Structure 1
Amino acid sequence: MKKKIKKISLILLCIITLSFLLSYIFRNEILVYAIEKIQNKVSQKYDCTFKIGQAELIGISGIEMHNISLKPNNADTLLAVNTIKTKINLFEIITGDLQINNLEMHDGYIQLVKNKNGRNFDAFLKKDTLSTSTSKKNYAKTAYKLISKVLNLIPSEMKLNNLSLKIDDMGRKVGFNMQQLELQNEKLNSKIIVTSASEKQTWLLDGRANPREMKSDLRFHSADTSSIKIPYIEERLGLKSNFKNIHLQLNNIDYSSNELHIDGVASINQFTINHPKIASKDVVIDKAKFDYKFLLGTDFISIDSTSTAQLNEIKVQPFVEYNTEEDTIYKLKIKIPETQAQAFITSLPKGLFRHFEGMEAKGSFSYNLDFEFNKNKPNNLIFDSQFHKNNLQIVKYGEADLEKLNHEFTYRAIENGILQRPIIVGQSNPHFTSYEELPTVLKNAVLTSEDPSFMKHRGFITEAFKQSIIKNIKTKKFARGASTISMQLIKNVFLTREKTLSRKLEEILLVYILENNRITSKERMLEVYFNIIEWGPNVYGIGEAAVFYFNKKPQELNLNECLFLATIVPKPKKFMWQFDATGNQKDYVVKNQNFIKNLMLKRGLLMETDTIGQSIPIQITGNARSFLKIKLVEKDTIQATEEIEF
């Protein structure tokens, strides 16, 4: 028996030795076969021509290739490299399971072009239509395979010289020329020349990298003391951005028990961004850091709650998850631990909260947000926002002095960036109407239409916000807001009409401060609101509106006139389209006003006796009548073409 085993072992050894010798003798033929296999695959799958001018084996595992190119048919060349030297196993080429340990590349480029004929890289973005697999994707396993494959293609030792990435997007050009990159003994150094239409920069990437151990510690910065300006996106998106340096650490990639853990740290210093949709001027973040812990399982992808994001001195513990175990569920949890209020204010990005600059506060606060959306059960949305304060107090206001609401002040609306005529909010204005002078039915009609729970809420309506999110997700667009009178007041008195992220964030914070620090009463807020909102073309405040439409004082308005004024608040300059050619209100308008009236009756804001004698249609008798499109020309009526002056 032992002799038989020895004999079999000897035969196997001879076969292996012979295979090795044959592989070495015919290694060039094997190389040619491997190249032809790749060329055929590229041609059939991507409709591209892959060429290698010259290829030869050096020793057992060394390969040297010259004049390599990849060109899509009927499009610009995608890749061209003069020289590639590497060491790999030929059988790995055949099987497609490559692991590159050494690499040298000289003189080449990758070129991404988009022109009137299309893009030269489109073929590589197409989905595999031949795949018919209906099995559920294992996110952790798939991600680990992809990461391993990519890292295996990154050599543990390499030297790259004069390699470029060229981008030409409809004439918008930018080039990244890697003059040199060297990775030796885990130490990485590189120099990149970046050229665009307006800038020429030198970038440096250095640090330590070990693709086999799946670890890295890299720093990305400018060759001098200047900031790195990000090219292309300014011309493409109108977005200006730059930063001092970026630090990237990859500390751990571990796959076990069907879970993938990816841990590391990313940080950025002196990050500046400018875009008209973000803010009216530069937004600057001094320092930001993300200590990330990604966790992937068979049916979920998440940022673990042990991760920490830091913006200057503000620390946030986020949890984000995409889960497909049963339904498709999106989860978001945000926790801001106990934070000093002043540290929070001074840590806000400069330029994003300009109305808070100079603000001083004492005390502390903490915050928790719990959000969950089930794609298959959208009405079960969870939105729970909890703000806890500890002796929180505003000591000094910044540019937005909320205290002015308690005194007479001058308000000026802004239309298309232009300041309108000044409106005095106080007794020195003959059109000013105090809270006590406002007709109760008018107050209730406007509140019913605009913000029914105004007298009870603290600036925000959680349920309305939830319904807004549900509606916007269902329609896949911004179809519904959740604005309250508090938010409208802050926007009108303290902020501009610009539609930017900055204004919206400031609006939310200022509303919270106003409503939760007893700065002024609800009655005073409503009084200011009624005296500043626009009620028509160049008509501000209820005092002017009552005269403009009905030649009355606010106290003299009847029920139907109050209902009419309540319905035009959202679009006051389009009031004339509510009327037909005879000067009477259209049917749909009357139905809308009856809807509000019935709501008021249902909620006990009106009695049935209040509606007696109110079936007579309203008559516009003030200057507003000249804006109506009435066909019957009256002797004393002239079509107005100019705004009414008060």
Structure 2
Amino acid sequence: MKKRLLIGAGVLLGLFLLLIVSLFVFRSRLLNYTINRVVEKVESRYPVDFTIGEAGFTDLTSVVLSDITMVPHGQDTLFRTDSVHAKVGLGSLFRGRIVLRELKVANGYLTAIKDGGRDNFSFLLKSDETQPVDTTAKSSRNYGELLNRILETAFDNVPDQVDFSNLNVSYTSPNRIIDIRMPYLTIEDGDINSQVSIRTDSLINNMRVKGTIDARDYNIMASLYASDNQGIRLPYVKEKFDGVVAFDTLHLGITDKTFRRDKLTVKGSAMVNNLMLNHEKLADEDIYVKEGAVDYVVSLGQNLFVIDSLTQVRVNKAKANVYASYSNADSKIIDLKVKTEALPANDFFESLPTGLFETLEGIRAEGKLQYKMKFHVNLDSVERVVFDSDLDASKDFRIVQWGKANLEKLKGPFMHTMYEYGKPIRTFMVGPANPFYVPLNQISPYLRNAVLTAEDAGFYKHKGFHEEAFRQAIATNIKKKEFVRGGSTISMQLVKNVFLTRKKTVSRKVEEAVIVWLIENLQIVSKSRMFEIYLNIIEWGPDVYGAKDASRFYFGKQPSELNLAESIFLTSIIPSPKRFRSSFDSYGNLRSWKSGYYRLIGGIMARRGLISQAEYENLYPNVRLYGRARDLIVTAPDANYEDTTEFELETIDLLDF
């Protein structure tokens, strides 16, 4: 029995040795056969000459390939490299493909050139027209399936060991130059290390790259560090968006991926240090974020993109869970939800990016704050847009130190400066020391009620915000595809005039909302005091500010003496006071299109009992001009004047209509 076992073992050993000898003898033929198949496949698919100068084994599994080139027919060389050293899995050779265990590449050059209508690379981007068309496939592409294939192909072909030296990628066209130089790239035992210099036209980024990779678990973490004092700047942001995005360090990673039921889910994280943003639509100044991070869960499928609610975003110390989705299966539907835990109020204010909320910088508080927001819109029916936003404070919340602007100045007299195109044009006292200041009870009730009716009918009921007005504004802006309506309340207009610039930036709108919330929820001043200040500082014409100045400029009387028609006229020009002349003809008569505004405002005032039915029925859309306004407006005879002004009711914020 033992003898038979020994004989059997001897036979197996002999067969194994024979297999090794055969592999050693035939491996070169097998390698050449596989390489020839690869070359034939490439040249049959693309109009190129693909050449591998020499190929051979240096030991049992180590291969060296030299003088590799890819030259498109009639074009400049697209790719060349001096040598490729690799360890090959012998099993892969029998399957007709090469799987590399170790890879070493020296002096590689990928050179893409575009000159006029000719280039040496576009053939790679064309679809394979020889493949049959799947007429049963859905019309839209499943980007989750596409990305899953890309990820699996990339991870499955990562060698265990990589040693690249002097790799170069360039793209040249008449109006664009991209040049990437990589002196070295190594992957050893899952550790990634590289140095990269990227030139995009005149912008040069020099960086170090470090990280780890585990191809079996689809796990990769990479960190980009600026290797000079210039930081890392994103290219083309200035050219395409007239902005700047730069940072010192960026960490990116994928920790898990699954593909089930035609949906790809990717989990990972990202973090950026010393992020700088600049764009005129965001803020007047550079925006700085010391540290921002996100732990994300993202899903892609057929007509679907979802950021899962498990996604957490952090800006400095402030954290929020974010849910977002976009679906276009039948209709284009967008959902967005943001929710924070109750966080210390000081952390909230200290986490505000520098340069984004200048007025609030330096503010300190006690207690806790929690924010929740919900947004939903079907782009086929934007009128039904959903928007709910709440900032809740704990009972012990209070401000212990104001920032650059002290909101409590509204309690008493203060100096106020008006700006135009970012430049100060007039400074005056808001208080009794100013002869043009008028207390609220000395302003005609007609003017007070007309302004409230047109600008903010719910002013005395809400806490600074009118969500229905916001929803209407969002719907209008989506329809127009631009910012044409803001849904501002009187509280918001007051804050904008007293504390902020008039530029329509994202930061100004958010800062405006935060300041309004502070004033209203901390009850810094009463509603009547806010309305009084508002009526004393808003613009009503050329260097005309406040109700008293406006009453004298147009009608030569005190604000307490204004009648209903005069009050409605003054209300009508609040949205565009510089266009006051367009309301009159050359004889000083109100133009006919103003009658629609009078019927609208007068009718609402009558229904709400702010004026009697008789006053409404006797309301005539005309006023008699006196004072300086008459000298500027009345120029009759003017037979050549043609009225081309059209009145748009949508420019008026009629809240609670």
| 1:356-435 → structure 2 map (5 Å cutoff) | 356-390=360-394, 391-435=396-440
Matches within 5 A, 1:265-344: 265-296=269-300, 300-323=304-327, 327-344=331-348
- DSSP 3-state at the match of 2:629: helix
SS of 1:254 mapped into structure 2 = strand
- For 2:440, what is the secondary structure of its paired residue? coil
CA positional deviation for 1:65:
5.7
CA shift at 1:576, angstroms? 0.9
Give CA-to-partner distance per residue, 1:458-497, whole Å, 9 cap, x none.
1111111122222323333334321121111111111112
Distance 1:489 1:251, change over 3 A: same
Deviations, residues 41-62 of structure 1 (Å, cap 9, x unaligned): 344xxxxxx4434355435895
The amino acid of 2:267's aligned partner reads D
1:537-559 superposed Cα distances (whole Å, 9 cap, x missing partner): 11111111111111111112111
Aligned ranges 1:370-519 → 2 under 5 Å? 370-390=374-394, 391-519=396-524
Q: Which amino acid aligns with 1:105?
A: V
Question: How far does residue 633 in structure 1 lie from its aligned partner after superposition?
Answer: 7.3
Offset of residue 298 of structure 1: 6.2
Following superposition, the deviation at residue 522 of structure 1 comes to: 1.0
The 5 Å alignment of 1:170-181 reads 171=175, 173=177, 175-181=179-185
**CA contact 2:31–2:93 (8 Å) conserved in 1:** no
- Report the equivalent of 2:50: 52
Deviation of residue 422 (structure 1)? 1.3
Which residue of the partner structure matches residue 219 of structure 1? 223
Please give the secondary structure, in 2, of the residue aligned with 1:337. Answer: coil
What residue number does 2:65 align with?
64
1:334-393, Cα deviation, whole Å (9 max, x unpaired): 111011101111121122122112211111121222222234443443322233211211
Is the 1:559–1:611 Cα contact (8 Å) retained in structure 2? Answer: no
Asked if structure 1 preserves the Cα contact closer than 8 Å seen for 2:598 and 2:621, the reply is no
Give the Cα separation in 2 of the matches to 1:443 and 1:94.
Answer: 90
Q: Residue 338 of structure 2 aligns to which amino acid in structure 1? A: I
Alignment CA distance shift 1:536-1:189 (3 Å): same
Instruction: State the shift of 1:249 in Å.
Output: 3.0
Secondary structure in 1 matching 2:289? strand
Say if 2:155 and 2:216, in contact at 8 Å, map to a contact too: yes
Asked if 1 retains the 8 angstrom alpha-carbon contact of 2:113 and 2:172, the reply is yes
State how far apart, in whole Å, the 1-side matches of 2:113 and 2:482 are. Answer: 31
Q: Is the 8 A contact 2:42 2:50 kept in 1?
A: no
SS in 2 for 1:420: strand
Q: Percent identity over the alignment?
A: 32
Distance 2:126 2:449 in 1: 58
Aligned residue for 2:235?
A: 232
SS of 1:279's partner is coil
Q: Greater shift after overlay, 336-345 or 377-386?
A: 377-386
Q: Structure 1 566/120 Cα, relative in aligned 2: closer, same or farther at 3 Å?
A: farther
Choose the corresponding residue for 1:351, options 345, 352, 355: 355
In the aligned structure 1, how far is the partner of 2:326 from the partner of 2:205? 39
How far residue 582 of structure 1 moved from its aligned partner, in angstroms, is 3.5
How far is 1:103 from its partner? 3.6
Paired letter, 2:503: E
The 2-side partners of 1:451 and 1:418 are apart by: 29
Whole-angstrom distance in 2 between the partners of 1:413 and 1:598: 34
Which runs of 5 or more structure 1 residues have no equivalent in the other structure? 1-17, 44-49, 635-646
Count of aligned residue pairs for this structure pair: 610
Q: Tell me, which stretches of 5 or more residues in structure 2 are unaligned?
A: 1-21, 640-657
Q: Please tell me whether the aligned partners of residues 145 and 262 of structure 2 are also in contact (alpha carbons under 8 angstroms).
A: yes
The alpha-carbon deviation at position 87 of structure 1 amounts to 6.5
TM-score under structure 2 length normalisation: 0.82
Q: Which residue of 2 aligns with 1:9?
A: none
Q: Distance in 2 between matches of 1:589 and 1:203?
A: 63
- Could you say what secondary structure the match of 2:206 adopts? strand
Matches within 5 A, 1:615-630: 615=620, 617-628=622-633, 630=635
Compute the TM-score of the two structures, normalised by the length of structure 1: 0.83
Deviation at 1:614, TM superposition (A): 3.5
Structure 1 pair 411–327 and aligned structure 2 pair: CA distance change class (3 A): same
Q: Is the 8 A contact 2:440 2:532 kept in 1?
A: yes
Return the alpha-carbon distance in structure 1 between the equivalents of residues 519 and 358 of structure 2: 17
Question: Which residue does 2:604 correspond to in 1?
Answer: 599
State the partner residue of 2:649: none
Q: Aligned match of 2:587 in 547, 562, 582?
A: 582
Q: Distance between the aligned counterparts of 1:348 and 1:169, measured in 2?
A: 42
- RMSD, matched Cα: 3.7
Moved more, 444-453 or 31-40: 31-40
In 1, Cα distance between the equivalents of 2:331 and 2:324?
A: 16
Contact kept, 8 Å, 1:72 with 1:78, in 2: the verdict is no
Aligned pairs for 1:485-564 (under 5 A) are 485-564=490-569
Contact preservation (8 Å) 1:250, 1:265: yes
Contact 1:100 1:152 in 2 (8 A): no
Which residue in the other structure is 2:19 paired with?
none
Aligned counterparts of 1:493 and 1:584: Cα–Cα separation in 2: 34
Residue pair 1:227, 1:243 contacting (<8 A) in 2 also: no
